[in-house]
């Protein structure tokens, strides 16, 4: 009798999993397969499964509808002549906290699949999930307290300055190079993508380490519970083990395994790479091939992008759902959202606009004020800013890679911005190009009735006006609020009509929100 | 007997003046002329003179050499048959504080004519000289305390927000429009360059008001005594009187008068205009004609430039000695010095990179920290930054227009930068393009011996590294100083050899100066 393990009920957008025992001879990762067909009234999904070690094969499914479903498993890991594996299950309504995968709406913006607004407030902790249980718990707590709703992190371990220790696990069977020789001064001499892959690694790239992936799944699940999207960086160049220099076949095996394991989690995003252009052995053809694997094998069409070091990937490619941007120059970062929106015609996610901190590198030592300024500049232009922190630390635990505790000042102020963004009528802001040259102004993306608009969010960035003169029209009344983005205060003023002055405290980081009187919240 | 008034002795680069009484019939400003020929062993200068009112005609000369000189006056304002007016005088050595006019050296930099280094630390007080005696005295005191060595100001009075009162004098005989009707809200309705020149002005554009010019000369002289260059803005668009809309003939008469009066002052620079492109009635041909008048009539070849609002004037024009730049965008200002040096191949003077303050306009409300940051960014790239202040004030006295007392924070820190600039070997810094992407580095313009250099000035701007790793070569020793540009401290470190780390406090606005051990100051 087959040992089929699955729950007979699952909530919408949760993971339905079928687990079967089977052959262990040969290499189960490559010699056998498992696939599932999941059928309900409104969808019919085929999904690849994966070998999870110890003779266990699994296939996962994320239902997008409620109701009765059936499944049918096709496989090659059971004895010939085994009966079809099939069954039934019921999909109940989604848990209250699960709004489904994040989707692109309105060309430049996001929402959850159930229509709930999603304004990305992201952070980066590259390998937080490969740290100790204690540190992981601390990171999850920090993420929740800060209110982040997206985190970027890597499937592979990371080799880089401040990242020279051993990860808690490796993705493959085998043994790593001796890391005790590594120092901040010599680590580049061991970096594969710099042509310095050293002998001493012994990996079987055809045999995964299921514990590595199971653990990442636990982390994705824990993020999901907290309303945090897991922006998975599937490849990256910070490598001393050769994971960035596998063959095409090995890469494809990895991509299929990653997708089979992770795609059924509602909160997964696919980041094909961090700094794809620092992987000299991967060509554009390779990246396009990985993309085609995702497009083919991810039945849920999770968000897909790819992050640059120098040159942007061509974000107009049809498989790319949103831009994942590292700023290309030292001075202008979020300020370029207008250009990027126009250039790519997609949501602009600013995953790297320098990080708050004090390490030696210019990408990791801006002030909290500057980080927050970049957040507001991005958000009001209709972009989605991202955070991280790089503070020097005796224990070498830097949020940017390891997670842990937040030490900076900017994160305390993101929830305030997020709350304001949630009050945007419709989905998302767009830059109001006709505003003054010395102000940033966001207006609702969906509001097109020029010249009278309903909702304006002005921001003065590093400027410190003691007042501003506003004029919209002679007919309508406007409610005005003076917002201090740093001190997180909202002071109501008004109503006003015609041309009027709004006094400001002559400090930086001030904003003014203007709503046409009578505009009902979210009623657009 | 003719009443010839002049001193028989003058110091080099001071003003030698011949004053004669003559006809007053008709319009002496246009009907008669006076010219001087001044001849010494090393120079032979022709200079136009001017009518100074009350029957007095003057011609001025600035000698550039010591020794015996003769002069010969030609004129048309004396009775026919009058004997030649001629004489002799002796030019003694320059006063200690007078180093002569500022000249371009080394393509991108300045020095005084006697070879003394000149690093411009400029400010703008558009019509400081047209205020009360008390305010003028206060401005001169403030300039000296701050250590400014250049000030931009206008010959014409200014009509603009915060500039609605009456100037102490007008340049022409006549009467102005009633200014009591003007308000901050309606002043644009009276602005000539916006097409709104109102009736009510009654000027004779062929009759100057000599007191207006005499007073400006006193101010130029007082600046000169304090080592401050007078960057004269000869035309501008902030006008309710029609001074910006005179005919070609009237303009040319004005230019000739200005040059005849002011050119003999060693510390004069010619700024053809502030925001030339806001004067719609002046064509490029007009500006080029004014330039040709200066080139022909200024015997001393004072520095010449022209300042923009939107588009730069073509600073490659041969008559332009240096770029006078107003930044063209909100975010990047001084950071573009590298580009502008390459584009124009001339000294880059950043006359307007926004001003410290808190008024409503984005060009006048940056913080002291940001102003100072722009100064350092400019200086280390081999450019010449300029300051002003626009603080709201109950008495409506804003440094930017009226002078008075300095209220900001940046000015207190310019002398510190200036002292550091003076220690640059040779004349001027240039950007070291091979430095890290996350640092600004200036090296001496004249130092070309790659790869080993003698003198580096690194700046970290808004970044906050806790340390930086430096490496120049394995052979030489380097003396290192850690400079806090805001707190004005210089902390010696070193010497170092090979690859070494310099710890920093993890604050913004830090710099590191590196000198090869054994480099003798200014010995290049």
A358/B465 touch (CB, cutoff 8 Å), yes or no: yes
Residue range B280-309: average pLDDT? 97
Grade residue B81 by pLDDT with cuts at 50, 70 and 90: confident
State whether A395 and A485 are in the same domain.
Answer: no
Diameter of chain B by CA atoms?
Answer: 83
A436/B362 touch (CB, cutoff 8 Å), yes or no: yes
DSSP single-letter state for residue A41: S
Asked if A328 has any chain B CB less than 8 Å from its own CB, the reply is no
Chain A interface, best mutation among B407, B437, B464, by max A CB count within 10 A: B464
Residue B314 near residue B340, CB atoms below 8 Å: no
Give domain status of residue A522, yes or no: no
From the list A95, A77, A139, A136, the residue with the least C-alpha distance to A389 is A139
Long-range contacts of A280-286 (CB under 8 A, 24+ apart): A280/A193, A280/A195, A281/A193, A281/A244, A281/A245, A282/A235, A282/A244, A286/A248, A286/A251
Angle between helix axes A284-297 and A248-262 (nearest 10 degrees) is: 30
Asked if A356 has any chain B CB less than 8 Å from its own CB, the reply is no
Give domain status of residue A276, yes or no: yes
Give domain status of residue A523, yes or no: no
> Which is more confidently placed, B447 or B336?
B336
A362 closest CB neighbour out of B359, B463, B466: B463
The proportion of chain B whose per-residue pLDDT surpasses 70, expressed as a percent, equals 97
Distance (Å) from the C-alpha of residue B402 to the closest C-alpha of chain A? 19
Residue A63 near residue A91, CB atoms below 8 Å: yes
B328 to chain A: closest CA residue: A437
Give domain status of residue B14, yes or no: yes
**pTM, entire model:** 0.95
Answer with the one of B70, B92, B114 that is the final residue of a domain: B92
Q: How confident is the model at residue B524, as a pLDDT?
A: 39
For residue A483, the SS3 value is strand
B365 closest CB neighbour out of A330, A370, A464: A464
State whether B106 and B184 are in the same domain.
Answer: yes
Residue with tokens 């806001």: B278
Burial bucket for residue B226 (CB in 10 Å: 0-12, 13-18, 19+): middle
A504 to chain B: closest CA residue: B360
Residue A285 near residue A311, CB atoms below 8 Å: no
Residue range A99-118: average pLDDT? 97
Q: How confident is the model at residue A451, as a pLDDT?
A: 57
The C-alpha atoms of residue A290 and residue A360 are separated, in whole angstroms, by 34
The C-alpha atoms of residue B213 and residue B261 are separated, in whole angstroms, by 8
Structure tokens at B223: 């600046």
Structure tokens at B457: 């000035």
Angle between helix axes B210-225 and B133-146 (nearest 10 degrees) is: 30
Asked if A330 has any chain B CB less than 8 Å from its own CB, the reply is yes
State whether A385 and A309 are in the same domain.
Answer: yes
State whether A108 and A77 are in the same domain.
Answer: no
What's the alpha-carbon Rg for chain B, to the nearest Å?
A: 25
Range of weakest confidence among A345-349, A472-476, B230-234, B446-450: B446-450
- For residue B220, give its domain range: 102-422
State whether B172 and B82 are in the same domain.
Answer: no
Q: What is the pLDDT of residues B493-504, one digit of tens each?
A: 989 999 999 999
A331 to chain B: closest CA residue: B332
Diameter of chain A by CA atoms?
Answer: 83
The C-alpha atoms of residue A492 and residue A479 are separated, in whole angstroms, by 8
Residues 6+ apart with CB under 8 A from B508: A367, B369, B373, B460, B461, B462, B463, B464, B486
Q: Is the pLDDT of residue A2 over 60?
A: no
Structure tokens at A170: 């490796």
A438/B362 touch (CB, cutoff 8 Å), yes or no: yes
State whether B307 and B185 are in the same domain.
Answer: yes
Angle between helix axes A368-380 and A414-422 (nearest 10 degrees) is: 10
Grade residue A522 by pLDDT with cuts at 50, 70 and 90: very low
Provide the 10 A C-beta neighbour count for residue A44: 11
Q: What is the pLDDT of residues B23-57, one digit of tens each?
A: 999 999 999 999 999 999 999 999 999 999 999 99
Q: How confident is the model at residue B76, as a pLDDT?
A: 85
For residue B164, the SS3 value is coil
Asked if A310 has any chain B CB less than 8 Å from its own CB, the reply is no
A370/B462 touch (CB, cutoff 8 Å), yes or no: yes
CATH number of the domain enclosing B23:
2.60.40.10
Q: Is the pLDDT of residue B510 over 70?
A: yes
Residue with tokens 């007997």: B1
Residue A503 near residue A467, CB atoms below 8 Å: yes
Asked if A9 has any chain B CB less than 8 Å from its own CB, the reply is no
Grade residue A383 by pLDDT with cuts at 50, 70 and 90: very high
Residue B219 near residue B132, CB atoms below 8 Å: no
* Mean pLDDT across chain B: 95
**Alpha-carbon distances of A57 from A50, A76, A261, rounded to whole Å:** 6, 11, 11
Q: What DSSP letter does each residue of B66-134 carry, written as one string?
A: -EEEEEEEEESSSPTTPPPEEEEEEEEPPPTT----EEEETTTEEEETTS-B----EEE-TTGGGS-HH
B369 to chain A: closest CA residue: A462
A507 to chain B: closest CA residue: B358
Contacts of B361 in chain A (CB under 8 A): 438, 465
Grade residue A148 by pLDDT with cuts at 50, 70 and 90: very high
Distance (Å) from the C-alpha of residue B515 to the closest C-alpha of chain A? 21
State whether A391 and A291 are in the same domain.
Answer: yes
Q: Which uninterrupted H or E stretch holds A90?
A: strand A85-92
ipTM: 0.94
Give domain status of residue A460, yes or no: yes
Provide the 10 A C-beta neighbour count for residue A268: 26
Number of domains present in the structure of chain A: 3
Give domain status of residue B488, yes or no: yes
From the list A520, A371, A508, the residue with the least C-alpha distance to A440 is A508
State whether B62 and B161 are in the same domain.
Answer: no
Q: What is the pLDDT of residues A192-227, one digit of tens each?
A: 999 999 999 999 999 999 999 999 999 999 999 999
**Alpha-carbon distances of B189 from A292, A435, B127, B198, B361, rounded to whole Å:** 63, 22, 21, 9, 19
A506/B468 touch (CB, cutoff 8 Å), yes or no: no
Q: What is the pLDDT of residues B133-185, one digit of tens each?
A: 999 999 999 999 999 999 999 999 999 999 999 999 999 999 999 999 999 99
Asked if B331 has any chain A CB less than 8 Å from its own CB, the reply is yes
Residue A21 near residue A32, CB atoms below 8 Å: no
Q: What is the pLDDT of residues A251-304, one digit of tens each?
A: 999 999 999 999 999 999 999 999 999 999 999 999 999 999 999 999 999 999
* Mean pLDDT across chain A: 95
Q: Is the pLDDT of residue B523 over 50?
A: no
State whether B417 and B441 are in the same domain.
Answer: no
B462/A367 touch (CB, cutoff 8 Å), yes or no: yes
Give domain status of residue A524, yes or no: no
Q: Which of residues 81-120 of B touch A (CB under 8 A)?
A: none
Grade residue A521 by pLDDT with cuts at 50, 70 and 90: low
Residue B75 near residue B20, CB atoms below 8 Å: yes
Distance (Å) from the C-alpha of residue B391 to the closest C-alpha of chain A? 9
Give domain status of residue A489, yes or no: yes
State whether B361 and B434 are in the same domain.
Answer: no
Q: What is the pLDDT of residues B181-202, one digit of tens each?
A: 999 999 999 999 999 999 999 9
For residue A402, the SS3 value is helix
Residue range B122-133: average pLDDT? 98
The phi-psi region of residue B286 (left if phi > 0; otherwise alpha if psi is between -120 and 50; otherwise beta) is alpha
Contacts of A358 in chain B (CB under 8 A): 464-466, 506
Q: Is the pLDDT of residue B239 over 80?
A: yes
Distance (Å) from the C-alpha of residue A398 to the closest C-alpha of chain B? 14
Nearest-10 Cα torsion for A270, A271, A276, A279: -70
Answer with the one of A74, A92, A110 that is the final residue of a domain: A92
Q: Is the pLDDT of residue B4 over 70?
A: no
Contacts of B360 in chain A (CB under 8 A): 465-469
CATH number of the domain enclosing A435:
2.60.40.3950
Answer with the one of B375, B391, B422 that is the final residue of a domain: B422
The C-alpha atoms of residue B264 and residue B13 are separated, in whole angstroms, by 8
State whether A349 and A467 are in the same domain.
Answer: no
State whether B455 and B405 are in the same domain.
Answer: no
Residue range B387-414: average pLDDT? 97
Helical spans, DSSP H, in B300-454: 337-344, 368-380, 399-402, 414-422
Q: What is the pLDDT of residues B264-277, one digit of tens each?
A: 999 999 999 999 99
Grade residue A316 by pLDDT with cuts at 50, 70 and 90: very high
Q: Which uninterrupted H or E stretch holds B19?
A: strand B16-21
Q: Is the pLDDT of residue A435 over 90?
A: yes
């Amino acid at each position: 009798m087959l040992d089929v393990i699955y729950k007979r009920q699952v909530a919408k957008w949760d993971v339905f999993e079928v687990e079967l025992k089977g052959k262990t001879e040969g290499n189960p990762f490559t010699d056998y397969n498992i696939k599932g067909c999941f059928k309900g009234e409104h969808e019919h999904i085929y999904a690849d499964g994966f070998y999870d070690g110890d003779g266990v094969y699994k296939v996962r499914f994320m239902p997008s509808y409620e109701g009765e479903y059936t499944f049918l498993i096709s496989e090659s890991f059971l004895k010939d002549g085994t009966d079809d594996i099939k069954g039934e299950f019921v999909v109940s309504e989604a848990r209250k906290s699960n709004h489904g995968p994040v989707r692109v709406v309105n060309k430049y913006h996001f929402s959850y699949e159930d229509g709930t607004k999603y304004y990305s407030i992201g952070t980066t902790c590259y390998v937080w999930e490969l740290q100790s249980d204690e540190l992981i718990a601390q990171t999850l707590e920090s993420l929740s307290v800060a209110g982040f709703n997206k985190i970027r992190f890597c499937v592979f371990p990371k080799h880089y300055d401040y990242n020279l220790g051993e990860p808690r696990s490796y993705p493959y069977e085998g043994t790593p190079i001796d890391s005790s020789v590594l120092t901040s001064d010599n680590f580049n001499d061991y970096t594969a993508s710099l042509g310095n892959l050293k002998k001493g690694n012994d990996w079987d790239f055809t045999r995964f380490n299921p514990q590595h992936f199971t653990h990442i799944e636990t982390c994705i699940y824990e993020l999901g519970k907290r309303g945090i999207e897991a922006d998975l960086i599937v490849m990256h160049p910070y490598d001393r083990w050769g994971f960035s220099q596998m063959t095409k076949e090995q890469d494809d095996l990895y991509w299929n395994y990653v997708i089979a394991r992770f795609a059924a989690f509602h909160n997964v995003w696919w980041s094909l790479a961090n700094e794809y252009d620092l992987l000299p052995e991967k060509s554009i053809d390779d990246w396009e091939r990985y993309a085609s694997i995702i497009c083919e094998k991810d039945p849920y069409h999770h968000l897909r992008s790819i992050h640059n070091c120098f040159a942007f990937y061509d974000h107009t490619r049809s498989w790319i759902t949103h831009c994942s941007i590292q700023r290309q120059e030292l001075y202008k970062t979020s300020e370029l959202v207008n250009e990027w929106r126009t250039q790519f015609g997609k949501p602009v996610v600013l995953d790297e606009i320098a990080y708050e901190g004090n390490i030696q590198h210019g990408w990791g030592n801006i002030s909290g004020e500057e980080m927050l300024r970049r957040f507001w500049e991005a958000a009001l232009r209709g972009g989605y800013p991202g955070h991280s922190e790089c503070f020097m630390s005796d224990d070498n635990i830097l949020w940017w890679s390891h997670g842990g505790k937040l030490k900076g000042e900017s994160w305390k102020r993101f929830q305030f911005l997020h709350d304001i963004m949630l009050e945007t009528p419709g989905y998302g802001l767009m830059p109001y190009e006709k505003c003054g040259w010395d102000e940033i102004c966001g207006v609702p993306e969906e509001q097109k009735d020029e010249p009278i608009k309903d909702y304006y969010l002005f921001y003065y960035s590093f400027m410190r006006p003691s007042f501003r003169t506003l004029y919209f029209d002679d007919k309508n009344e406007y409610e005005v609020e003076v917002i201090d983005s740093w001190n997180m205060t909202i002071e109501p003023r008004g109503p006003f009509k015609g041309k009027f002055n709004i006094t400001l405290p002559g400090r930086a980081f001030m904003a003014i929100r203007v709503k046409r009187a009578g505009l009902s919240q979210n009623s657009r």
